[in-house]
Chains A and B, each alone.
Chain A
Amino acid sequence: MRKQPLNRFTLTFESRSANESFARLAASGFAAQLDPTVEELCDIKTAVSEAVTNCIVHAYPDGLGEIRLIGEIFAGGLVRFRVKDKGRGIEDIALAMQPLYSGLGGERAGLGFAVMESFCDRVSVRSKPGRGTCVTLEKQIQGKLVGGDG
């Protein structure tokens, strides 16, 4: 059975690098209604920043495209973000998700997926070469009430 979200937003923006900070601030602002700890908000900012940067750098390497960020909150304090692009897609998802693998090299450490996985409870990727990619990030917010940082 699929649970219905208690709250939801969709944001569509151009794949300009200036939107990396915009996207992570939007995501953390939305999650703030769950009364998360500062740490949890930082986790969300970092993971969303990675996913959105990947769209800008990898999905649309030589031009502008559209990125969609969808946020959902579920009963019990689960927050889910989906980051979608209609860019070049990923040929081998398992390989792409390996720590230190980068299709680009240079200034890219190949760490984005590893960072997303270490700061979220669940990360999943769907992709079709030439069609686009959707990265889903899920995090259970414990919040300040349940033994957070105050």
Chain B
Amino acid sequence: MEISIQGKCMTVFLDGEIDHHTAAPIRKQIDGEIDRLKPKLLVLDFGGVTFMDSSGVGLVMGRYRSVSACGGKVEAVNLPPRLYQIMKLSGLEKIAGLRMAGERP
């Protein structure tokens, strides 16, 4: 995982497998940066994610809560088709911008 910061925009490049087990340390690291930066935009890039279950949706929802509390927005981008399908099941697009791999804003 890599985090890049440009002004008040924070981009997290997620990789590997996201399940309940791996989500815990990912969450901790992202939340530390959110606390520090109070970003206006948090971009979660799923391009490098090889597996994800509903824990990934929880990860986005949880970050939405903390970022929107400070008036910021959340986007999940570069979603492989399967991950996009899982995110859609949750109606997440109502609170966060969802973009498939290769899709422009």
* Residues in chain A within 8 A of chain B (CB atoms): 17-18, 20-21, 24, 39, 42, 45-46, 49-50, 53, 56-57, 99-100, 106-109, 111-112, 114-115, 118
Residues of B within 8 A of A39 (CB): 82
Q: Are A21 and B21 interface neighbours, CB within 8 A?
A: yes
**In angstroms, how far is the closest chain B Cβ from the Cβ of A56?**
7
* Residues in chain B within 8 A of chain A (CB atoms): 17, 19-21, 23-24, 27, 51-55, 57-59, 61-62, 82, 85-86, 89-91
Query: Could you tell me the dominant secondary structure of chain B's interface residues?
Result: helix
Query: Could you tell me the dominant secondary structure of chain A's interface residues?
Result: helix
Q: Are A49 and B58 interface neighbours, CB within 8 A?
A: no
Q: Are B19 and A109 interface neighbours, CB within 8 A?
A: no
12 more contacts with CB within 8 A, not counting A17-B19, A49-B53, A111-B89, are A21-B21, A42-B82, A46-B52, A49-B19, A49-B51, A53-B20, A100-B90, A107-B55, A107-B58, A107-B61, A114-B54, A115-B54
